[in-house]
Chain A
């Protein structure tokens, strides 16, 4: 399963890298790539319980970068 999200409010390159590392640790996430330049996040994750996984990602973002909102595109 692949999805793309726009990350609004991401304002530092190192934060993007840290966020990427944090999301990578979530169970069910196969790969994640956050581009600070395009403000896009690409997720690859397990087909099963995808809603749960996305919810976890949302939580991690909320914790790491409270100013960032994620929106699927």
Chain B
């Protein structure tokens, strides 16, 4: 795989989910990403391309960042399919290609969901909130969020954006290369990294930061107040909703519904 071909596939990988649907998921995007490679591979036999493309239009669903491992590995497998001459061997290679695609997409999705959605995204959120709080941006005060320079206001979001994307882009770019160069013994390069260890460590950092942020938030929220009725009311509100959030999490009720219900209940109670 040449550098320019890899670059082309890399840019196309940003549109993997453009045709997302509930029946074949990312199939259209998958075919779109693989198109430059397939066109190059079947340059001598362009009549084969529509038949080959039908396989790529079957159901495919994985994590958008980790998908690059699938693209590299499927390119490698497709080369084996293209090399076959006998019908029986062709069928065997196609079956192997299908199995690898299914297995790899599920594994990559599992790692990607835990790493990017479950760990990196909340971790960068924590980082952004900590930066804002350190820069004295007090968003806990409903009446007066205060004011700060545009630089301060954008800095936290920008830090979260750059950290998330530096990791995501690295995985997207390297995944293509590693997936293509590896074989099924190393699960097409997925076993090169200790994902579980990385996720475990990142989650541990996140847990410490989350607890620290809550304590910091409590200090910022209550630290400048005297012990009064307002202080008590605020403390009760915070404690009540923290406990309620834990409870609704156990009941698998999203926080969005907790907030909407709380607002509706408060409104009705105030009307009565």
- Is the pairing of A and B real? no
Residues of chain A at the chain B interface (Cβ within 8 Å): none
